[in-house]
Structure 1
Amino acid sequence: MPERIVIVGGGFAGLSVARRLEKRLAGSEIDIRLVSPTDYMLYLPLLPQVASGVLPARSVVVSLARRLRSSSFVPGRVIGVDLDRRRVVSESITGRSEVLDYDRLVLAPGSITRTMEIPGLREYGRGMKTLAEADFLRDHVLGQLEVANATTDPDERARRCRFVVVGGGYAGVETTANLELMTRAIARRFRRLDPSMVRWHLVQHGRRLMPELGERLGADTLAVLERRGVQVDLGTGVVGAGDGRVDLDDGRTLESETLIWTAGVAPNPLMSRLGADTAKGRLVVGADLAVPGRPEVFALGDAAAVPDLVTGGDAVCPPTAQHATRQAPIAADNVAASLRGGTPREYRHHDLGLVVDLGGSDAVAKPLRVDLTGLPAQFVTRGYHLAALGTPAAMARVAGNWALHGVGGANAVRLGFLTDTSGRLAEFEQTDDYLTPDQARAAAEAAVAR
């Protein structure tokens, strides 16, 4: 009988593990099933450009069906795992529960938007973690400008032209920078609007933007945003949100219909429901990416606390696409070694640097610890994104759309499918229906009985 391998997650890590296992092991040896709620791998770093209309949604994804060869794609979301009986419980996109037995399990479900117990956040906040959220956000922002142009009430116009982004990390900065360029360009096309009416506020709890980039590049980023007219509030937090308002901890209330929440990510809740050790929600694994005491279970990417052998000490690898992509070959090789009796490898990777696209000709980058700004940084940033996409078709689509946007500029057209859905965090972040080990065992037995 072929060895049954279940891979949870179709992102950078999950897809790369499946692809490498297909190359390492013969089809008769293994039966790979990849479980993912979406049928594509999403390139998350380019989501701000989807929200700002620089890139169409389909250009930043890679089809799982086109990349997988002998593996089976299971459209669903894993909500529970029975580690003792080696069973995975998946909720299909049809709503049915399905059970998958495994001999080896690879956990790479990624992360979700990190939310806090802030009144009104889930009801009024909008995320930037999924493709749907980025498209919904674009429609919402365009809709606000259209309503602002149509209204005769100056207070309503000001409220709809003010946009608040929470989080001074990469996602928050890139979202603010790219959408600010789009709204300023589009405002010029409306008779009753002036670009100066459009106000963007970036709220950051810390004292610096993107501290991982260092003080100099953080200051350069701040200078770019302020030169464009973005109000950056450092050392400030959000304490509440409501219909048409955002409350800050310094006593101010910003009248706004748009609260964009990008204040970090959290590991997929599945990790804390396995009955195994976790560190800040991430599943604890060894440097070989195997779960201690469970040599048949491997975890990687955002959901795994992988020891950082380069930094040393108690450090773990940060939840970035760079680490997820490079952990995948190690995980796949170790799965193969566990089946063939080979020697496992340890994950060790020197960080290649970080890149941040601020839209237009503006960017900051730190490749191999070299600080870059402006056009050189933009060249490195976009070159890195193209290389990371991994397929010639995806590279061509993204490069072609960059060229079209450079010639034609922003396109102020809503998709028009958002009339009955708000697109807020409460609708997109399904975090409350994961199962404990006992619940997973009961659900699996019930599904098998059916």
Structure 2
Amino acid sequence: MSERIVVVGGGFAGSDVARRLEKLAPDAAIRLVCPDDYMLYLPLLPQVAAGFLPAAAAVVSLSRRLRRTVLVPGRATGVDLAARRVLVRSITGNPEVVPYDRLVLAPGSVTKVMDIPGLREYGRGCKTLAEAAFLRDHVLAQLEVANTSHDPDERARRCRFVVVGGGYAGVETAANLQLTTSVVARRFPRIDPALVQWHVVQHHDGLMPGLGDRLGEDTRRVLESRGIHVDLGVGVTAVDDETATLSDGRELPTKTLIWTAGGSPSPLMGRLDAATDHGRLVVGADLAVPGHPEVLALGDAAAVPDLATGGGAVCAPTAQHASRQARTTAANVAASLTGQPTREYRHRDLGMVVDLGGAEAVAKPFGVDLSGVPAAGVTRAYHLWAMRAPAAIARVAAAWALGAVEGPSTVRLGFLTGASGRLAEFEHTDDYLDPTETREAIAAIPDGLTPRGSPA
């Protein structure tokens, strides 16, 4: 019987592992557990939310990218490490069991939610394609309702947008969406464009501290030149349907609080019988889980030792590391099947890029600070290179070219009407089971209830 390799997660890390294993392990039966038939290119989500890119431009089809891998359409909600079984909740809602001989865990991350009153009910994220689409419709809807309202207080409340988090995601989301709302506001006769207010709330004393003081200040200058309020050294202490309360005592009347204050590893990792570090699964430099050499983990959800930095550091949860860890993971899985020695992961960070919309960006390639048009060129070029799929590259490039001429799409699609937009709704953070619950759930499933094409 051929070796059974199960990969959990269809993002940068998981999809690349599966693709490489198709070549490195030609006799293995490979299965990829993922709720969607696409790899999401997360860095482009702010542009999807702002209408500069259609949703399809931010994804790469898995069924077209993978040839031999069997896609299991569902979400891994638990793993029985002793029995080597993965519990999957199918997209139909039914439970399934997927057995494995080798397991690769790359479930990614979810929005980090803090214990702030009202946040889980009224905070909105931009971590998934559904969230970006919902956010776009929600923001446009606020302006449409404000344009028809006769209450000046309601108009002001619906025209104020608060983004919590001054990291890469928060800054890009605020910068791109502000450009869109500035266009929309000019089309509505009853909305004074000056009434549309954007706030970036950051508890640190600078924006994107990982890029250094200079680029942080350059970013702040760009945002403030557009009228975006940058509130540093403060946080949000409470939120409800009409107000965001800040730690300095201010109350901002708003119907929109966008929460981008960091990410957390997939809850799946904390439900395993294995050690974690701040929620990330502890692995060795060869990406294997201590005590379970048949299980490897990588990407945002794994605490991979950063050998290039040293001193006990772990790799940052970035797409750059995830895609490169995939190469080592696939090679090590293939090596383990033939009894060959495995290798350690080592990579030095090449830098970061931040798109601020239009011709504005900041970037730090190879340690060199760039801003303005040069940074925008580097940022766009990097995104096209990183997608690694000709069809996706063509879609993004064409959308950027059209956007340069016509601006963002400002049509509210309306297909998410009725959705609450809660973080847990779109990110499914309540779906995961602890080890005991996983074993009980697997035991309750009748024999033979496994995904089509899976060997028993």
Partner of 1:261: 259
Q: Give, as a single letter, the amino acid of the residue that structure 2 aligns with 1:12.
A: F
Partner of 1:115: 113
The TM-score, its normalising length taken from structure 2, stands at 0.97
Partner of 1:247: 245
Q: Give, as a single letter, the amino acid of the residue that structure 1 aligns with 2:428.
A: Q
**Equivalent of residue 271 in structure 2, options 267, 270, 273:** 273
5+ residue gaps, structure 1, are: none
2:4 corresponds to 1:4 = yes
**Runs of 4+ with deviation above 6 angstroms:** none
Q: Give, as a single letter, the amino acid of the residue that structure 2 aligns with 1:274.
A: L
- CA displacement 1:325-351 (0-9 Å, x = unmatched): 000010000000000011101100011
Matched residues in 2 for 1:33 and 1:4: separation?
Answer: 8
Matched residues in 2 for 1:293 and 1:416: separation?
Answer: 50
Question: What root-mean-square deviation, in Å, do the aligned CA atoms of Structure 1 and Structure 2 show?
Answer: 0.9
Partner of 2:418: 420
SS in 2 for 1:346: coil
Partner of 1:45: 43
Matched residues in 2 for 1:345 and 1:140: separation?
Answer: 47
Partner of 2:18: 18
Matches within 5 A, 1:26-425: 26=26, 29-425=27-423
SS in 1 for 2:445: helix
SS in 1 for 2:274: coil
Q: Give, as a single letter, the amino acid of the residue that structure 2 aligns with 1:328.
A: A
Q: Quick check: 2:79–2:87 contact (8 Å CA) kept in 1?
A: yes
The TM-score, its normalising length taken from structure 1, stands at 0.98
Tell me by how many angstroms 1:424 deviates: 2.5
Partner of 2:452: none
Matched residues in 2 for 1:444 and 1:168: separation?
Answer: 42
Name which of structure 1's ranges 165-174 and 430-439 shifts more when overlaid on structure 2.
Answer: 430-439
Name which of structure 1's ranges 287-296 and 419-428 shifts more when overlaid on structure 2.
Answer: 419-428
Q: Quick check: 1:210–1:218 contact (8 Å CA) kept in 2?
A: yes
Q: Give, as a single letter, the amino acid of the residue that structure 1 aligns with 2:24.
A: R
Tell me by how many angstroms 1:428 deviates: 1.7
Q: Quick check: 1:123–1:426 contact (8 Å CA) kept in 2?
A: no
Name which of structure 1's ranges 439-448 and 146-155 shifts more when overlaid on structure 2.
Answer: 439-448
SS in 2 for 1:143: helix
SS in 2 for 1:422: coil
- CA displacement 1:346-394 (0-9 Å, x = unmatched): 1000111000000011000000000000000000000000001111111
Matched residues in 2 for 1:347 and 1:396: separation?
Answer: 32
Matched residues in 2 for 1:187 and 1:424: separation?
Answer: 26
- CA displacement 1:126-173 (0-9 Å, x = unmatched): 001000000000000000011111111111110000000000000000
Matched residues in 2 for 1:251 and 1:183: separation?
Answer: 27
SS in 2 for 1:443: helix
Q: Quick check: 2:128–2:427 contact (8 Å CA) kept in 1?
A: no
Matched residues in 1 for 2:442 and 2:122: separation?
Answer: 36
SS in 2 for 1:200: strand
Matched residues in 1 for 2:67 and 2:383: separation?
Answer: 25
- CA displacement 1:230-280 (0-9 Å, x = unmatched): 011100010101121101111111000000000000000110111101000
Tell me by how many angstroms 1:429 deviates: 2.9
Aligned length, in residue pairs: 448
Partner of 2:453: none
Q: Give, as a single letter, the amino acid of the residue that structure 2 aligns with 1:57.
A: A
SS in 1 for 2:367: coil
Tell me by how many angstroms 1:422 deviates: 2.3
Matched residues in 2 for 1:106 and 1:418: separation?
Answer: 33
Give aligned-pair identity as a percent. 69
Q: Quick check: 1:186–1:410 contact (8 Å CA) kept in 2?
A: no
Q: Quick check: 2:162–2:257 contact (8 Å CA) kept in 1?
A: yes
